Structure 1
Amino acid sequence: MDDARVRCGLNLFAILSSFAVLSCSTVARSADEPVDEPQPGSIQTQPGDPVAEPLDPVRDRTEKADRQLDAMSWFGVAKLRESRGDFRGALDAYRKAVELDPSAVAIYRGLVPLAFSLNETDDGLKYALKLVDLDPGDAGLMQQLARVLVSRGQVAEAAGLLEKAANAQTVDKKSAQYVSLQRDLGVLYAAQGDNEKAAGAFTVLLEALKRPEAFGLDARQRSALVSDAETTYERLGQTFLDAGMTDLAVEAFEKAAETRRGKTGILQYDLARVYLKAGDAEKSLEQLEAYVKDGRTDRGRAAYDLLAEVLAALGQEAEIDERLEAIVEQDGKNPFAKLALADRYAKADKLDEAAKLYETALEEAKDATGYLGLADVYRRQKKADKLVELLARAAVAGAPDQLLTESIARVTEDATLTDEILAAGRKGAESKPPKTDFASAYLLGKLAMQAERYDDADVFYRLAIRIRPDRAAALHEEYGRNLLLADQYDAAATIYQDALNAPADEGATLNFMFRLSQALEFAGRTDEALATVEKALTLAPSAPLLHYQKGWVHFHARNWDEAAELFRQVIEKFPQDADTVRQARLSLSALYVEQGEKEKGEQVLEEIYASDPDDPSVNNDLGYLYADGNKKLEQAESMIRKALASEPENAAYLDSMGWVLYRLGKYDEAASHLEKAVGLPTGNDATLWDHLGDVYSKLGKADKARDAWQKALELAKDEKSPKAEDIEAIEKKLKDGEAQDQ
């Protein structure tokens, strides 16, 4: 009896609340009793009645009408099966119905919630999006679907649906539904970093909170919006501030203070910040003074950095240290005021005073930037014995990688200090047992890499791996990558091979095989690189990236025919993997250019550009080819500027910009881009220096041109596969320059 009872009150899909829950009826049958159901196109008759004869139609139905009738028959089957609890069977029937009539809204309204309830999420989403196309006025459905898309990480697609919903003719712009849509849009825009759009959406929300009756919001709805963590007055204020809408930011933060829904200290700080941004430094100072008087520490050292900024805006910069000293004296347990004052002492070369403040503050607050500040003081005081420990503490406390790297770089500028630190580190590492902890070993490894002391780096990284074998994969990855960037290819290959010898999951194994093939090929060990890729393919024969990598190895080894064929195979076999196919097409274009077939290279890039005109790499590469061919120069400049806007520190993009400006005769501007390019870590390239020499020559700077060409010649001869024609061209420029000097 229990097996035959049909369950009622089925919750089809909680998120998609706009769909009606299908009603059920309880039907009891014996387990062996057969269940009759009509077949599509048949007529249900009474038992014993004769079969009804079909009527002869006056005119024949069209094929479309036949399909629609068949679709409705399957729709009826789906409903019947659903009422009997055969949900999988019902789903199959719905699918057949929608296949026969893909424009029937009623079918989708039955199909979509059932698909979601059976965890057929991909199908449910596909059919739901089709339903949205068929019924663009169903804003509620679109809003619910947007939430499903967000749960799948498809934020941009979700925002697109919400925009469509908000613009639907069925949505009243003065309704609670419109406010809800704008609320969701604002949250999604903010998540994507689009502060301007987020602020636009939140403007509607703020207006609704001020005048709820104008939007038909009842007390419950208004309370829910105010209590929503994503749309607090503070969050709105921050968004408005980030978008440069200071008046609205002030209004939102003042509302937060008025309703006291935020922490008092945080609101005082936020109001001080927004008042300063609005140009009212006096009001800003009032809020900060209240913050200090209340003994608040909610915003850490940022509040005291803001105090310094406000006093400077009021022309009271000379009072900053005095104010901070007074705060420290009044509240000796406030570590953040001490850290802010220590920073100022350090900048003023009051190193002993700074060190004392840092040390006492760091006893109370484990502040990453505080550790870095004290480390910098010790560096200037030549206190090698304490430096590594402080840098290690900074790393443990969560110091940003960039700040940590900059601190290490400053240490390595002092060769004597670096030698002392590494010698002491090796002594600790080689003692039995080692006296160096994990954090210190890791920092010493990074420092040794920065100082190009590769033997020392190997000692420290390997020690870190032994101390924390659970971090082995990440350490092998980082150490190997650093060696590749330092052109230590054989050493990198050894590290990646070591990683493969350690236990790891299949994903990590494939990653290290991929990296190993790179290192081996860069080291000139092409056969070993190819063997590594082939071995990886035995583990993942359908991995597009591994098939691409095989082509890349041949490309780098200048085996043009093999590389071209492999890239074409990737494009043909894996159209679903857009990223890998794109990379294969870019590589195929580069291959054509290397072979002197620039027009074919341009054609490949133009095809990619046509489908994705915002792709930075394509804009740069195609723009550069146009510039190099001295054609379409205005278009090339526009394309390269788009690429450079996405990565202002990209040496290749800067070179492209310099070269197109050179072609356009804008030599001064070209020089500034190329000078910046060659000054970057990745800018030490023969082509870049050659271009810079050409620009200097046009500017009449003969000595600088000669120096740049000489550098280009050295780098061109140093390349793994030197190009005779490039070397000859640079030598000719140098010779012609000497002739002009004479």
Structure 2
Amino acid sequence: MLPVGKQSAAAPTSPPDAASPRTDLPPEPVGDRFDDRPLPLVSRQPRTERDADVIHATALLAHARMLMQRGDLGNALRRYQRAWRYHPTAVPIMERIVPLAFQTSVNRQAEGYRYAVIAADQGLSDPQLLTQLAVHLTRNNQPRRALQLYERLRKMQGTKSPSLRWVVQHVEMGRLCLILKQPKRSIEYFDLVRKAIKSPKEYSISAPQLKRLLGAKNATCLLLANGYLQSGQFDAALEMFAKADEGQPNPALLAFRRARVEAVRENIPEALAQLQQYLESGQTVAGTSPYELLRRVLLVQTGDEQQAVARLQTHLAELHKAQVDNRPLRSYLAELWRSQGRLQEAETLLQMLRKQKPEANLNRGLVRIYLQQEAVPSLYHILVETVAQDPQLASLNTQLAQIVKQDEGRILDRLLRHATENTPPDAKLAMRAAHVMAILTALAQRFPEADKWFETARRVAPAPNPQLCRNWGRRMYQAKRFPQAANAFRAALQAQTIPDNQPLLYLLLADALVSDQQVEPALQAVRKSIELKPDQFVAESQIPWVLYRGKRYADAKRQYLIFLDKFDSRFDNDQIRRICRQARFILSTLALREGDFHSAERWLEEVLDEFPEDIGAFNDLGYLWADQNKHLARSLVMVQQAVAAEPENAAYRDSLGWVYYRLGQFQQAVVELEKAVAQTADGVILDHLGDAYLKLQQRAKAQATWKRALAVFKTENNLQQIQSVQTKLRQFRTTDS
């Protein structure tokens, strides 16, 4: 651009003829002031970090408006989001972000909700949007924030005439209080609901509306009753339990609920009387809870555990004689007898229940019994039977660990001998038995034996079994036996005859291969998955991921950029958004490896554009800025939020300590860095702590801490860090001498 004062409003397209002087121009003034070079503006006071942020936000806003005018709404949204982050007190920015994100042509509802929640925290006053946000937060398991929004709505209601919606919101507020384990606070809301149920006309609630408020089987009353019971308001609890019973009358169940109330207020005779009414009815709708309640009541009555259990056994045994088909009673009695050493009787009950309907809890009970009895053949049979329904034996995790450890592994040795000597003639049973032994020996980390048992299971199987191989591959992967995992996944692929199941198996194989540093075979497996099922974004994201894990960083960067170019415009799928988020984190890491701090920051900024409360991005960007000694005020706020969210995260704590260090708050830096070192002896954290000690003139601590850092870096063969710390120690010794 030409200097100001030299540019014509309508410049000629060709230079004028030198021989024909222009007569239409005014005479050139002598000593034209515009010939002088303008002096730079000098601020009266230095620009603060806050000033710089506001200026940057203003520029972003201008860019956003320009993009809006061009119809580029998606990128305009990104500019508005970043402008808000640099100038969050500018509420009008947020008022642009939320409607724009929800706009049909943009369709970024997830982002809209994230920013709307923040807007609500800042004072959003639209009742309809606040209600929508509260529901969204509840569905996304954020009860505390949802309750805060409902509280805002309640204050906004003020003295307005109550309505059905108003009462329903109080039901939800009380329910959220119970989720947050604040029963006494729930009563503040439930009292209004209770009044509305008793006097609906006062709340302008019609008969059909009252029916909707009460819910199916008067479930709302049951919710209120439990809230009143937990808060110790027993009469109100009884009233609401009675009202709940009106929805589906059941005198026996109502008696059990009354017994609960009387037991809590320690009215033992009445609790026993009400409980007996339920027990004699033979009903099973309350499961095993009535029998557990009876145990607690008897304990209060007798004051002696042994006496209470004796009376409980007698009472339940009598009930069982009269109610032989009562499944919850039989199950509870079996566990009670097992805990009291009556193992044979407990086993009989559990086996009878299993014949009627096999369930995981029954299998667990039998395994416990056989372990107590050291009944190896019976234990072997129940495990083989269980693996048919639960191929990984996940329902028996605790019991399997006990088998492996009990009697220093002798129970396991006996099981293995029994399995070796008693191979079932049926091929399916033989496969299951060998699989069980493979699982147990793998848990015991007796891997050579585990490999043999797995191969036996494959060999004796009546047909190729892809599920067996896939499950074994996953188990080997978890055990970090990557070559064995890869072999198992290959076997699964050979056995798999359903084409739709093969793409996932190829991805599992790729994961095992790259973990074993076999990068090219891993890439081939991913490409095969894509070939079988084109345009699957999960598989396409694995190409750069494999390259990154294989330390082919330039290729990984290129492939991540290709992935983002293809999928980053997809906002209709949450999984795609999570993968794009991960891609940006990795691209930031790759940029740092190249020394490209600007790009590293940009990728993290883009994460925060879409996920404005992402604590990982808060930490990483805050640390990155602090390491460059810039944006320190913002860095501090961001890293503090990360630490508040995950106080046990040593990396976040280190970032906080390093920000304090950069701010010159060395004592506070030491406090945070010492906490981080207490959580993990990481070399970088130790190096930072040594630096902070030196600033406080704690020279002996600094030297000792740097030596610890050096030892860690030598273990990691981190040459750059080794050289850095050795330089500090040499300078330290020079200074001392």
Name the TM-score, length of structure 2 as normaliser: 0.59
Unaligned runs of 5+ in 2: 1-103, 108-124, 571-575, 658-667, 731-737
Closer/same/farther in 2, CA of residues 690 and 163 from structure 1, 3 Å limit: closer
Paired with 1:445 and 1:691, the residues of 2 have a C-alpha distance of 45
Determine the structure 2 residue equivalent to 1:642: 645
Residue 571 of structure 1 aligns to which amino acid in structure 2? L
Say yes or no: does 1:539 pair with 2:545: no
Residue 320 of structure 1 aligns to which amino acid in structure 2? A
Closer/same/farther in 2, CA of residues 467 and 272 from structure 1, 3 Å limit: farther
Determine the structure 2 residue equivalent to 1:561: 554
**Which deviates the most, 277-286 or 512-521?**
277-286
Paired with 2:462 and 2:174, the residues of 1 have a C-alpha distance of 41
1:85-164 matched pairs, under 5 angstroms:
none
Q: How far did 1:603 drift?
A: 4.7
Say yes or no: does 1:665 pair with 2:668: no
1:259-278 matched pairs, under 5 angstroms:
259=246, 261=248, 263-273=250-260
Say yes or no: does 1:422 pair with 2:416: yes
Say yes or no: does 1:371 pair with 2:363: yes
Say yes or no: does 1:615 pair with 2:614: yes
Determine the structure 2 residue equivalent to 1:360: 349
**SS state at 2:429 partner:** coil
Determine the structure 2 residue equivalent to 1:107: none
Closer/same/farther in 2, CA of residues 243 and 385 from structure 1, 3 Å limit: farther
Residue 379 of structure 1 aligns to which amino acid in structure 2? L
Among 298, 322, 328, the alignment partner of 2:310 is: 322
Paired with 2:456 and 2:207, the residues of 1 have a C-alpha distance of 63
Q: How far did 1:419 drift?
A: 2.3
Q: Is the 8 A contact 1:586 1:604 kept in 2?
A: yes
Residue 301 of structure 1 aligns to which amino acid in structure 2? T
Q: How far did 1:448 drift?
A: 3.1
Determine the structure 2 residue equivalent to 1:523: 516
Residue 292 of structure 1 aligns to which amino acid in structure 2? L
Paired with 2:439 and 2:392, the residues of 1 have a C-alpha distance of 14
Determine the structure 2 residue equivalent to 1:19: none
CA RMSD of aligned residues (A): 5.8
Paired with 1:236 and 1:399, the residues of 2 have a C-alpha distance of 42
Closer/same/farther in 2, CA of residues 138 and 485 from structure 1, 3 Å limit: closer
| 1:637-667 C-alpha deviation (Å, 9 max, x unpaired) | 43134146xxx8xxxx466458857955157
Closer/same/farther in 2, CA of residues 705 and 217 from structure 1, 3 Å limit: same
Q: Is the 8 A contact 2:337 2:345 kept in 1?
A: no
Determine the structure 1 residue equivalent to 2:379: 387
Paired with 1:233 and 1:307, the residues of 2 have a C-alpha distance of 25
Closer/same/farther in 2, CA of residues 301 and 539 from structure 1, 3 Å limit: same
Determine the structure 1 residue equivalent to 2:54: none
Determine the structure 2 residue equivalent to 1:75: none
**SS state at 2:671 partner:** coil
Residue 612 of structure 1 aligns to which amino acid in structure 2? F
Determine the structure 2 residue equivalent to 1:212: 200
Determine the structure 1 residue equivalent to 2:55: none
Q: Is the 8 A contact 1:564 1:588 kept in 2?
A: yes
Closer/same/farther in 2, CA of residues 605 and 441 from structure 1, 3 Å limit: farther
1:271-310 matched pairs, under 5 angstroms:
271-273=258-260, 287-310=274-297
Paired with 1:688 and 1:427, the residues of 2 have a C-alpha distance of 56
Paired with 2:365 and 2:701, the residues of 1 have a C-alpha distance of 43
Say yes or no: does 1:590 pair with 2:596: no
Residue 642 of structure 1 aligns to which amino acid in structure 2? A
Q: How far did 1:456 drift?
A: 4.9
Q: How far did 1:381 drift?
A: 3.6
Q: How far did 1:569 drift?
A: 2.1
Q: Is the 8 A contact 1:372 1:390 kept in 2?
A: no
Paired with 1:389 and 1:281, the residues of 2 have a C-alpha distance of 45
Q: How far did 1:609 drift?
A: 2.9
1:686-697 matched pairs, under 5 angstroms:
none
**SS state at 1:436 partner:** helix
Q: How far did 1:461 drift?
A: 5.8
Q: Is the 8 A contact 1:689 1:708 kept in 2?
A: no
Determine the structure 2 residue equivalent to 1:4: none
Paired with 1:362 and 1:692, the residues of 2 have a C-alpha distance of 62
Closer/same/farther in 2, CA of residues 360 and 154 from structure 1, 3 Å limit: closer
| 1:660-694 C-alpha deviation (Å, 9 max, x unpaired) | 579551578557745xxxxxxxxxx9779989999
Residue 197 of structure 2 aligns to which amino acid in structure 1? L
**SS state at 1:524 partner:** coil
Q: Is the 8 A contact 1:536 1:546 kept in 2?
A: yes
Q: Is the 8 A contact 2:427 2:461 kept in 1?
A: no
Among 397, 400, 405, the alignment partner of 1:408 is: 400
Kindly tell me the number of residue pairs found equivalent between the two proteins. 559
Q: Is the 8 A contact 2:427 2:460 kept in 1?
A: no
Q: How far did 1:493 drift?
A: 1.4
Say yes or no: does 1:512 pair with 2:515: no
Unaligned runs of 5+ in 1: 1-111, 113-121, 123-135, 675-684, 736-742
| 1:48-88 C-alpha deviation (Å, 9 max, x unpaired) | xxxxxxxxxxxxxxxxxxxxxxxxxxxxxxxxxxxxxxxxx
Paired with 2:409 and 2:640, the residues of 1 have a C-alpha distance of 44
Closer/same/farther in 2, CA of residues 138 and 551 from structure 1, 3 Å limit: closer
Q: Is the 8 A contact 2:482 2:512 kept in 1?
A: yes
Q: How far did 1:194 drift?
A: 11
Closer/same/farther in 2, CA of residues 406 and 590 from structure 1, 3 Å limit: farther
Closer/same/farther in 2, CA of residues 728 and 377 from structure 1, 3 Å limit: farther
**SS state at 2:427 partner:** coil
1:199-238 matched pairs, under 5 angstroms:
206-223=194-211, 226=214, 228=216, 231=219, 233-235=221-223, 237=225
Q: Is the 8 A contact 2:687 2:725 kept in 1?
A: no
Q: How far did 1:608 drift?
A: 1.5
Q: How far did 1:520 drift?
A: 0.9
Residue 240 of structure 2 aligns to which amino acid in structure 1? A
Determine the structure 2 residue equivalent to 1:38: none
Paired with 1:249 and 1:614, the residues of 2 have a C-alpha distance of 41
Determine the structure 1 residue equivalent to 2:493: 500
Q: How far did 1:586 drift?
A: 1.8
Closer/same/farther in 2, CA of residues 463 and 400 from structure 1, 3 Å limit: closer
Name the TM-score, length of structure 1 as normaliser: 0.59
Determine the structure 1 residue equivalent to 2:15: none
Paired with 1:249 and 1:192, the residues of 2 have a C-alpha distance of 18
Closer/same/farther in 2, CA of residues 587 and 208 from structure 1, 3 Å limit: same
Paired with 1:320 and 1:232, the residues of 2 have a C-alpha distance of 35
Q: How far did 1:584 drift?
A: 0.7
Say yes or no: does 1:487 pair with 2:480: yes
Residue 547 of structure 1 aligns to which amino acid in structure 2? E
Q: How far did 1:565 drift?
A: 1.6
Closer/same/farther in 2, CA of residues 301 and 599 from structure 1, 3 Å limit: farther
Closer/same/farther in 2, CA of residues 272 and 461 from structure 1, 3 Å limit: farther
Paired with 1:374 and 1:501, the residues of 2 have a C-alpha distance of 37
Paired with 1:506 and 1:579, the residues of 2 have a C-alpha distance of 27
Paired with 2:728 and 2:437, the residues of 1 have a C-alpha distance of 46
Paired with 1:376 and 1:304, the residues of 2 have a C-alpha distance of 21
Q: How far did 1:415 drift?
A: 1.9
**Which deviates the most, 535-544 or 545-554?**
535-544
Q: Which has the higher contact order (CA 8 A, sep 6+)?
A: 2
| 1:284-317 C-alpha deviation (Å, 9 max, x unpaired) | 5554344334444433333333334455567554
Paired with 1:357 and 1:569, the residues of 2 have a C-alpha distance of 62
**SS state at 1:665 partner:** helix
Q: Is the 8 A contact 1:342 1:355 kept in 2?
A: no
**SS state at 1:452 partner:** coil
Q: How far did 1:519 drift?
A: 0.9
Paired with 1:633 and 1:582, the residues of 2 have a C-alpha distance of 23
Paired with 1:412 and 1:730, the residues of 2 have a C-alpha distance of 45
Closer/same/farther in 2, CA of residues 693 and 178 from structure 1, 3 Å limit: closer
